[in-house]
A and B are shown apart, each in its own frame.
Chain A
Amino acid sequence: MRARITFVLLAIAALLVTPRAALAQTGTGTPEDGLGYVLAAFGLAWALFFAYVFYLERKSRQLRRDLDAVRRDAAEHQRRA
């Protein structure tokens, strides 16, 4: 869990820092020259992917619990029969 949180924090830091590096690297762009659009596009894409991966991981854990419970019920049912 701690590793995942670290990964998310690192990713957010990279997301915030790298567009500024891009502007510093070139002489053609200024913050008014589309950086807001770039941040919005990458931010939304990352947010969607993170949210979806988080949702999938949570669903997996839930399914695993459900499957174990159903297996226990089935075993109990068989024992009684």
Chain B
Amino acid sequence: MPATKAAGPGGWRLAVLAVAGAMMLVNLWLIFAYVPTEVSMGVVQRIFYFHVPTVEIGFVAFFVVFVASIWYLVSRKPSADRLAQAAAEIGTMFLTVAIIMGAIWAKKAWGTWWIWDNKLTTTFVLWLIYAGYLMVRAYAPTRAQAARWGAIIGIISFLDVPIVYAASSILHPAETLTTEGGLEPAMRLAHWFSFFAFGVLFVYMTMLRSGQHHDEERIDELRRTTIE
């Protein structure tokens, strides 16, 4: 009996996970031992080296959903739909982590867990939109309908990402990473390394989840064939 290829214990998958794990350890060293402490905020500013990249990877994920949704509507390829669904799930996960980390940072910096300013409100709306996307898919009567509705919502939902970005530019996270007007090279390095480390983790999770959707489809298909 052949083993499943997509979600099986493939060497590539463990290799990507190992790379992500190693990068995360280097990332921690960069954040806590390499980067200088920001002058005005102190040690709590280091939260931003996780918080900002997780938001950015969330945006990347939603861009993947957007592109894969268009690809699905044009080609009707199930693989495009699986990619969109997986990227939406992982993107929502990343955004959840980012919101939680941001709230913890805000408690120390602002004295409150949450304020309803432009950036936070639009980010929360973005989270709600993708949570809604996943719920619509989950409650669709058939896989075909879930894919079609998901593709349409996936395209429309992405419109909120530039809005969040524009709202963020009013109070840009880079402000909190800078000292005296410029981003220090060590801080820039830590930020981008963190971005790529989370990027590898995102690739691993998305491929794994997409493979699982493929396996679920195969199981349904085989069960249907057996019953018929």
Contacts and interface: CB of A to CB of B under 8 A. Distances in A.
Contact of B212 (A28, A35, A56): A56
B11 to A, nearest CB: 13
Given A60-B7, A67-B219, A26 B43 contact: yes
Interface in A1-40: 7, 10-11, 14-15, 18-19, 21-23, 25-26, 28-29, 33-35, 37-38, 40
Interface of B: 1, 3-4, 7-9, 17, 21, 24-25, 28-29, 31-33, 36-37, 39, 41-44, 46-47, 50-51, 54, 93, 96-97, 100-101, 104-105, 107-108, 201, 205, 208-209, 211-212, 215-216, 218-219, 222-223, 225-226
A11 to B, nearest CB: 7
Given A11-B25, A22-B37, A44-B100, A38 B44 contact: yes
Interface of chain B: mostly helix, strand, loop or mixed: helix
Contacts of A70: 219, 222-223, 226
A10 to B, nearest CB: 7
Given A28-B37, A29-B43, 11 more contacts: A14-B28, A18-B28, A21-B32, A21-B33, A37-B105, A45-B101, A49-B201, A56-B208, A68-B3, A70-B223, A73-B226
Contacts of A77: 226
Contacts of A59: 212
A57 B4 CA distance: 14
**Dominant secondary structure of chain A at its interface with chain B:** helix
A45 to B, nearest CB: 5
A48 B104 CA distance: 15
A25 to B, nearest CB: 6
Nearest to A8: B21
